[in-house]
Structure 1
Amino acid sequence: MVKETQDGQIVLNQPAGHVENGESLQQAVIRETLEEAGWQVEPTAILGMYAFTPFAGADTYHRICVICRPVGHMTDSLDPDILCAGWLTREEIEQHPQRSPLILECINDFENGQNFPINMINNHHLEAK
């Protein structure tokens, strides 16, 4: 889990981010987890796809949550937006404000054994000319 600031409040989130141009989802997961948590990971399965609209008229956020195997801690140098990163129990997570309700929804799905094959994500990138 990572701690970050949202609207002046410290909240918990899973490492997250955007897929960069030319990058596969799996590559983005590996990069974002390293940048935000300092851990090298291996994506092993898709947990699920989620959508969250925080309030009427707001943007809808789409999340693809990926199950990963931790490979090793690589660095303590984290993205400037991240206050700290660490492993927490479910009880510890529940005691802190979370960035969105999707955090506990993803944890519930993981604890219930939900997962989909990682190869359901197909990557086809056009070659630059």
Structure 2
Amino acid sequence: MKNDRWAPRVTVAAIIERDGRFLIVEEETAEGLRINQPAGHLEAGETLMEAVVRETLEETAHAFVPLALVGVYMAHLDKPAGGTTYLRFTFCGASSGAHEARTLDAGIVRALWLTPDELRANAERHRTPLVLRSLDDYLAGRRFPLDLLHTHSVGPSGTQ
């Protein structure tokens, strides 16, 4: 029996501010060179916070400590072969600095620090409209406590 259940792709993103600048990645995509917050997909068995810590380290070489949830965003991206829906959890937090010897993920050209004005001036290069939307929410002071999120493990028999 074919499973035709629709499911969104779950992603995480990090907002890290230092001296009025934000940690951003420049990455190669099918649409060319784009800029994005450190972000990526939730992997099997991970919590959302584990995923954002891992993705930030892989893409920027910065250790990330999530302090709050900025928002949960859904984006429907229509592509010629059919649409994809992303459910994105954006966290804000702190970095203890970069691990200089660490290699960045494949496709990541570099990590850089940009001001909000620089990000706005490059909106056409954003990987997704959620880059600016989540930054604006962060700048507006939107913060939700991390205990808003719960992860429940289910055993092999389906019991919790």
TM-score higher than 0.5: yes
1:111 aligns with 2:136: no
1:10 aligns with 2:33: yes
**Residue 126 of structure 2: which of 98, 112, 116 is its match?**
98
Matches within 5 A, 1:1-129: 1-55=24-78, 57-75=82-100, 76-96=102-122, 97-126=125-154
Larger Rg: 2
- How many pairs align? 129
In 2: Cα distance, 1:74 partner to 1:25 partner: 22
Q: Deviations over 1:32-91 (max 9, x none)?
A: 000001100111110000011233751111101011111221244100111111111112
Coordinate RMSD, CA, aligned? 1.8
- Structure 1 runs of 4+ aligned residues shifted over 6 Å read none
Question: Which ranges in structure 2 are unaligned for 5 or more consecutive residues?
Answer: 1-23
Question: Which ranges in structure 1 are unaligned for 5 or more consecutive residues?
Answer: none
Percent of residue pairs bearing the same amino acid type: 36
Give the letter for the 1:88 counterpart: L
Residue 15 (structure 2) aligns with: none
TM-score (norm 2): 0.74
Local SS of the residue matching 1:30:
helix
TM-score (norm 1): 0.90
